[in-house]
Structure 1
Amino acid sequence: MKEVSVLITGGGSVGLSLAAELGWRNIDCMVVEQSAGLNNHPRANAVANRTMEYYRRWGIDKEITEAGIPPDHPADYYWVSSLHGRQLHRISLPPFKKIREVKDTGGYVKEEHTWSPYLKTITGQNEVEQVILNYIYSLPNIDMKFNYELKNFDQDSLGVICKVKNIKTEKIEDIKCKYLIACDGGKSMVREKLNIGLTGRADMAKFVSIYFKAPDFMKCHKFGTANIFFPLHKDYAGFLLNWDGGTTFTYHLMLKPGQSWNEINAKNSIEAVLGKSTDIEILSIQPWSAHALVADKYHDNRVIMAGDAVHLFTPTGGFGMNTGVSDAIDIAWKVQAMLEGWGGNKLIDSYFNERRPIGIRNTKEAADCFDQLNSVMVHGDILDEESDRADKLRAELSLNLKEQDKLIASSGTLLGYRYNNSSIIIPDGTQETIDNPRKYIPTARPGHRAPHIWLEEGVSIYDKFGKNFTLLVISNDISDANILICEAKNIGIPIKLLKINDQDVLNLYKNKYVIIRPDLMVAWRSDIIPDKPVDILNKITGVIS
C-alpha cells in the first residue's frame, strides 16, 4: 500500500496553496483532483495583501502580479447605471507600478502601503492557480494527480486509509496517510461523510458568470478602464471583472427569482449592459450561488477540512479564496509539527478554535457587503432619467455608495483578524484593537498578525523571519534570548533568533522579545525571558493548554 504523510483532496486555490506550503516545509503530500486540469474559468479576481505575504515566502509573488492586470493599469472601480448610462460613484487607486511612489504622498493609499508590502493584487484565480501549480511541480516531495478522485476513507488513531480512483482507468487503490485534508469545495464529500453541518445564510442570490473576450469593449462606452464595473440597473445587476487591459472580462449577472442560468443568452446579456453590439467571443459560462455558511466543525481527528469545504462566501469583498488560503497556512505548520514530533496533543484542535471564528467573521462581512450592494440594485430607468426625482435618487445613491467603499478598501478585514481565546496564544493583557473592515490597526498583540515594516527599500521584516518559529529580539543583548533558544533546541522545537535593534521596530512591536509563529502570527511578547521558558514553548506548540 502506498503511504504519504498528507493526502489533499481538491486541487483548487486552497488545495494547491496547502500543498505548496507543505512542500516548502519539506512535508511530502499527494494532491488528488478529479478534474483533468485547472479550472480555466476565472472566479476570484483579487489576491489579498495577506495572501501575497504568504506567496512572497515561496518566491512567486512577482509572477502572480505579472500574470494579472498590467501593473500600469489604473486601479479604478465604477458604479454605473449601465455601461450606456451614468456614472454614480467611482474609486480610483494608483496602479500597482505607482504604489512605491505614493509612499511620499498623503491619503489612504500611503497609509495602507505601510500595513503590508502589497495592496490587493488583481490577478484571476485561474492565473494564480497556474503559478502555484508550476511552483508545486518544482518541489520533489509533492505528487500532483489530476483525474484522480477520493471515493472513501477510514481513519484510526494512527492514520487514514483513502480509497482513490483513477478516473481514466477506473482502478481504485488504497493510499495510507497520516492526515487527510479536504479542500474539495462547497459540496465537500468529506464534510458530507463526516455528517458535519453548515450554519448561516444559504442561497442569498444566484448568478451566471460569463467569461468573454471583446476586443472593442472599451470603445463601446464612455467610461475609463477599470478593475470592476458595477451596473446597478435592475435589468443588468451584477459586476464585470476586467482580466487584462480591457478586452477580457467576466460578467457576473444576478439572476431574477425563478430564472435559470441556462436560459440566459450570454452575448445578448453583455450587449444589453453595454448598450450596443460588438464582436464578442464567449469563452465559458458557469453558474454560482452566494452564501454565508460556515461548517460546525473543521476536523474530525486526522481528517481536516479547509477552504470552501468549511465556509461558503458571496464574493463581495474578495474574502473567500483568501480566507481559505489562511486556513491552509494555519493547518500546514500544525500538521508539520505533529509529523515531526514537536507538536502537542492540543495543537490540531487549535485549528478549529482559531479559524472557525474567522470564517464566521469573514462570511458575515462579505454578506454585509453583498446586502449593501444588492440594496442599490433595485432601480430601473429612473437611474438615467432627467428629472428632479431622479436627481434626488442619484444624490442619495452617491452618498450610499461612498459608505460601501469597504467592498474595495477591506484591509481591516484581510489583515486585522485575530485569534482571541486561542489555546496556543499567550495573552499579554493589552487592550484589543478595534476590528474595522476598512482600517487595519497595526499591532503585535499576541493573537494578531505580526505587523509588517520596511527595514530598507524592498526588504520587509517578513523577509527576515524564519520558516518555523522566530524569536524577534529588538535589542543588542541576546544573552537571555539564547536561554529560550537553547531550551527550544533541547525539546526539538525549530526556532530562529532574529536580532533587529531598531527603534521603529520597537515602536511597532512594543516589547523587547516577540515570538512569531510559522504562520506569521504573534504567539507571545514580553520585555523579559522568564526563568522557565519551556512553559512558553509548550503552550505555543499545544503541549499544554
Structure 2
Amino acid sequence: MLRIMTDQKVGILIVGGGPVGLGLALDLAWRGQPSMLVERDPKTAPVMLAKANGLHERTIETCRRWGILDKVIERGFPQDLPGDSVYSTSLTGYCLGRSVIESTRDRPQPPESPVKRQRCPQYEFDPILADEVQRLGLTDVRYGQEFVGFEQDDDGVTVNLKNVETGALSTVRCDYLVACDGAGSLARRSLGIPFEGRMLDFSVSAMIRIHDLEALKPIENGERYILIGPEGAWGSMVWVDGEKIWRFSIVGNQEKIHPSHFDIEPEIRRALGSDDVRFDILRIMPWRRSQCVAASYRKGRVLLAGDSAHTTSPTGGHGMNTGLADAVDLAWMLDAIQSGWGSDGLLTAYDIERRPVGVRNSASAARNYGNWVNNSDCADVLTEGPVGDECRRKVGERLQSSLQEEWYTLGIELGYRYENSPVIVPDGSLPTLDEPSHYIQTARPGHRAPHVWLEDRRSTLDLFGRGFVLLRLRETADDPAELIRAADAVGMPMALVDIREQAVADMYERALVLVRPDGQVAWRSDALPRDCAYLIDTIRGAHVPGAVPAKKGEAAEPCPV
C-alpha cells in the first residue's frame, strides 16, 4: 500500500459529504471561509437512497439565505399535491382515518416565518448543496477519500485519508476537524465519546418505482400511508417525487433484517393491496432505528455534527433538519475563530447549545414512533362488519390524535433555545413554552430572532447572517457608538440597523437587540451595558473557561447504530 505524505495545511476539514457536511461547507463558504471536505463516495448522491425528504421551516429559512430555495422548490415534491397522512390497511384497503395536510401551494403562510416547509428528496437536495458549494469556489471537495483516523495535539489535527480506488494513504493537517461521518462515526468512537440512548428496532426500506399507479386506484390524497394490520403498524409507504418513486419501509422488527435472505416483494404487494401492479425495486437498505446522543459534541479540536452527534427515528423528519442547524451554529463560530475575533470558548458553547436540542428532538421523534407502533385494539382491523368497523374507527381516531406532534412541528423547528449558553446574555425574562406543535415568537436572548414583515416587504430575517446585527428600535435608545467601538476593537463584525416600525418594536420588546450571525438573539436591553467591552468579550467566547485540547482518545466499543 502506497503512503503519500503531504504537508498540506487547511483551516477546517469536514469529514462526510452528506447534507450536514455539505451544509457546513456551504455556510462557511457563504461567509467567505475556505474549508476542505472529504467524502468516501465517488460523487454526491451516487445512488438513490431511502433517506430524508422533509425540509422544515428553519432549514428552508437557511436555504433562502443561501439563495438556493428556488432550486429546492423546482426539484422537490410538486407544490400542488396534497400531503395527507393516511392510516390504512393498504393503499387500496380499509381507510382508518387521515391527518389532513394541505399541498404546499394551498397551505397558509405561517405568520412566524417568511417561508413554508418543503419536501425535496435527499438524492435531489444533496446535489443542490454540492453544486452551490462548488459554485462558491472556497471548498476543496475531495471525493473517493476515506477517513481512516486522526491524531490531535494542542496546535491542530493530523487527519489520515485513504484513496478508495488506489488504497494510497495521505495526511492533511488542519486546525479543526468536523466529523459529519454518520451514526457509526469513527471520529466519535476514536475519541471515546459515549453514544447515549437506546436502540428502538430494526427496519428495512426500499426505493421502488410503481408503474401505472392510477390503475390501482389508491386511497386518494395520500402522500404517506401508515400501514396497519392485526399486529399493529407494520410498514409505511411514502410518495417521494410525486410521480412514480415511493419509499416502502417495514417497521417494528426486533432482529436485524438481511436483504439477501429476505424476500421483500410480498411485503410490497401487501402494502399495495394488489398482485397486479408492476413495480421495480431500485434499492434496498436495512437500518437501525435509534434514539442516541453523543455525551459531548466536542473534544479538543474535533467536533461532531449531524448523525455523528445524534440519531433520531425518522418519525417527524427531525434528523437532517437538526443536523443542518448544527452546521449553521458551528459555521459562524469556526469562521469567527479562523478570522481572529472569536475565542475557542465558542466551541465549548457549541456543545452546550446544540446537545440539548439533539436530546429534545430525538426524544420527540421516539415518542412519535411509540405512537406509531402502539398495537392496542388492532386485532380486528381486517374483520368485516360492525366489529371491524368499530376497531378501525378506534384505531384511526387514536392515530389521528396521537400523531399531531409528528405532522405539526413548528415548535420543534423554530422554538429551540440556547438557555444555558455561556455566549448568550440573559435578560431575566421568562421563557416561552417549549412545545413540539406550538411556537411563540420571542426575542428573548438565546431564541431565534423573530420574523416580522418590514414595510418594504423584507423579513427581519433578511437583516441577519453576515455578522452581528445591532437593532436600534426606538428613537430614545442609547447611542450605541461605544458598543460598536468595542466590537471594532477586537475585529468583530457588527452592523447597526435602525428600524422605526411599531410591529418590530412590539415583537422584539427592547430598544436595543443584538443578533448573532446564526440569527439567534445574543443580548437585548433598553440601555447599553455599563461595560460594553465585557459584553462583546462574552458573546465572542472570551469569558468561557478555557477548554484544554484533548489528546487522541482510546477507541470505544463499536457504535451499535
Determine if the TM-score, normalized by the shorter chain, exceeds 0.5.
yes
User: Counterpart of 2:539?
Assistant: 540
The answer to whether structure 1 residue 244 and structure 2 residue 231 are counterparts is no
Go from structure 1 to structure 2 and tell me whether the alpha carbon gap of 1:397 and 1:540 turns closer, same or farther (over 3 Å shift).
same
Q: Secondary structure at the match of 2:92?
A: coil
Go from structure 1 to structure 2 and tell me whether the alpha carbon gap of 1:353 and 1:258 turns closer, same or farther (over 3 Å shift).
closer
Alignment of 1:362-373 (within 5 A): 362-373=361-372
* Structure 2: tracts of 5 or more residues without a match: 1-6, 545-561
The answer to whether structure 1 residue 297 and structure 2 residue 296 are counterparts is yes
The answer to whether structure 1 residue 209 and structure 2 residue 217 are counterparts is no
User: Counterpart of 2:484?
Assistant: 485
User: Counterpart of 2:227?
Assistant: 231
Distance (Å, rounded) in 2 between the aligned partners of 1:238 and 1:473:
53
Q: Secondary structure at the match of 2:237?
A: strand
303-312 vs 246-255, which deviates more? 246-255
Alignment equivalent of 1:83, drawn from 85, 91, 97 = 91
Q: Is the 2:258–2:286 contact (alpha carbons within 8 Å) kept by the matching residues of 1? A: yes
User: Counterpart of 2:3?
Assistant: none
Alignment equivalent of 1:5, drawn from 5, 11, 23 = 11
345-354 vs 226-235, which deviates more? 226-235
Distance (Å, rounded) in 1 between the aligned partners of 2:8 and 2:476:
50
Deviation at 1:239, TM superposition (A): 1.6
Letter in 1 for 2:149: N
The answer to whether structure 1 residue 141 and structure 2 residue 138 are counterparts is yes
* Structure 1: tracts of 5 or more residues without a match: 104-112
Go from structure 1 to structure 2 and tell me whether the alpha carbon gap of 1:90 and 1:153 turns closer, same or farther (over 3 Å shift).
same
The answer to whether structure 1 residue 27 and structure 2 residue 33 are counterparts is yes
| 4+ aligned runs moved over 6 Å, structure 1 | none
Distance (Å, rounded) in 2 between the aligned partners of 1:236 and 1:261:
21
User: Counterpart of 1:429?
Assistant: 428
Alignment equivalent of 2:78, drawn from 62, 65, 70 = 70
Q: Is the 1:236–1:272 contact (alpha carbons within 8 Å) kept by the matching residues of 2? A: no
124-133 vs 211-220, which deviates more? 211-220
Distance (Å, rounded) in 1 between the aligned partners of 2:137 and 2:145:
19
Q: Is the 2:233–2:374 contact (alpha carbons within 8 Å) kept by the matching residues of 1? A: no
Count of paired positions = 532
How big is each residue's C-alpha offset from its partner over 1:234-281, in whole Å with a ceiling of 9 and x where there is no partner?
487222221222421000112544462413323332221111121211
Q: Is the 2:226–2:233 contact (alpha carbons within 8 Å) kept by the matching residues of 1? A: no
Distance (Å, rounded) in 2 between the aligned partners of 1:514 and 1:273:
53
Q: Is the 1:230–1:238 contact (alpha carbons within 8 Å) kept by the matching residues of 2? A: yes
Deviation at 1:150, TM superposition (A): 1.6
Deviation at 1:456, TM superposition (A): 5.1
User: Counterpart of 1:54?
Assistant: 62
Q: Is the 1:237–1:253 contact (alpha carbons within 8 Å) kept by the matching residues of 2? A: yes
Deviation at 1:490, TM superposition (A): 1.9
Go from structure 1 to structure 2 and tell me whether the alpha carbon gap of 1:479 and 1:435 turns closer, same or farther (over 3 Å shift).
closer
State the identity %.
34
Q: Is the 1:466–1:496 contact (alpha carbons within 8 Å) kept by the matching residues of 2? A: no
Q: Secondary structure at the match of 1:249?
A: strand
Letter in 2 for 1:303: V
Q: Is the 1:466–1:495 contact (alpha carbons within 8 Å) kept by the matching residues of 2? A: no
Distance (Å, rounded) in 2 between the aligned partners of 1:371 and 1:60:
35
User: Counterpart of 2:52?
Assistant: 44
Alignment of 1:38-437 (within 5 A): 38-39=44-45, 40-99=48-107, 102=108, 113-202=110-199, 204-233=200-229, 234=231, 237-254=234-251, 256-258=253-255, 260-262=257-259, 263-276=261-274, 277-376=276-375, 379-380=378-379, 382-403=380-401, 404-437=403-436
Deviation at 1:63, TM superposition (A): 0.8
Distance (Å, rounded) in 2 between the aligned partners of 1:377 and 1:54:
41
How big is each residue's C-alpha offset from its partner over 1:23-68, in whole Å with a ceiling of 9 and x where there is no partner?
1111111111111223331401201111111121110112112211
Q: Which has the higher helix share?
A: 1
User: Counterpart of 1:108?
Assistant: none
Letter in 2 for 1:495: M
Q: Secondary structure at the match of 2:538?
A: helix
Go from structure 1 to structure 2 and tell me whether the alpha carbon gap of 1:179 and 1:45 turns closer, same or farther (over 3 Å shift).
same
Letter in 2 for 1:319: H
Distance (Å, rounded) in 1 between the aligned partners of 2:540 and 2:284:
46
Q: Is the 1:185–1:308 contact (alpha carbons within 8 Å) kept by the matching residues of 2? A: yes
User: Counterpart of 1:454?
Assistant: 453
User: Counterpart of 2:468?
Assistant: 469
Distance (Å, rounded) in 2 between the aligned partners of 1:191 and 1:259:
24
Go from structure 1 to structure 2 and tell me whether the alpha carbon gap of 1:196 and 1:19 turns closer, same or farther (over 3 Å shift).
same
Distance (Å, rounded) in 2 between the aligned partners of 1:208 and 1:42:
10
Distance (Å, rounded) in 2 between the aligned partners of 1:329 and 1:171:
33
Q: Is the 1:476–1:499 contact (alpha carbons within 8 Å) kept by the matching residues of 2? A: no
Q: Secondary structure at the match of 1:515?
A: strand
Distance (Å, rounded) in 1 between the aligned partners of 2:386 and 2:184:
49
Q: Secondary structure at the match of 2:479?
A: helix
Letter in 2 for 1:174: T
Q: Secondary structure at the match of 2:325?
A: helix
Go from structure 1 to structure 2 and tell me whether the alpha carbon gap of 1:362 and 1:146 turns closer, same or farther (over 3 Å shift).
same
Q: Secondary structure at the match of 2:431?
A: coil
